[in-house]
Amino acid sequence: MRTIESIELIYRDPMVRGGRPCIVGTGLRVMDIVMEQQHGERDPDKIASIFEIPVGEIYAALAYYHEHKEEIDTHIQEDAEYIRRVKAETLGRKSD
């Protein structure tokens, strides 16, 4: 008989990081791992070192991303738009 194993390393909690998928035991979002891989370090071992988590958790986050790519890409885009808005508002103000 075949048994399908489950690796439960990703969680969501509406009280943590806006309910966005995170690595269990941390507040590190899946999208943080994805953004590091896309715009910084590509080697999962080095990403694990940067975030000080086991490399298996990096692979779990990347696997989760590939299974939920559209959702995570939307989260990344929303955060980028928010940052642009805040910067524009902040830079538009005069200092006291």
What residues are paired with 23 via a beta bridge?
Answer: 10
The model's pTM: 0.85
> pLDDT tens digit string along 25-64?
999 999 999 999 999 889 999 999 999 999 999 999 999 9
Query: At residue 29, what is the residue type?
Result: R
What is the rounded (10 degree) CA torsion for 58, 82, 88, 50?
A: -10
90 phi/psi in degrees, rounded to 5: -70, -45
What is residue 91's predicted lDDT score, i.e. its pLDDT?
A: 79
Under 8 Å between Cβ of 74 and 18 = no
What is residue 41's predicted lDDT score, i.e. its pLDDT?
A: 87
What is residue 89's predicted lDDT score, i.e. its pLDDT?
A: 86
| Residue bearing tokens 């890409």 | 73
- CA proximity to 34, closest of 67, 58, 53: 58
Structural domains present in the chain: 10-91 (1.10.10.10)
What is residue 95's predicted lDDT score, i.e. its pLDDT?
A: 59
As a whole number, the mean pLDDT across the chain is 92
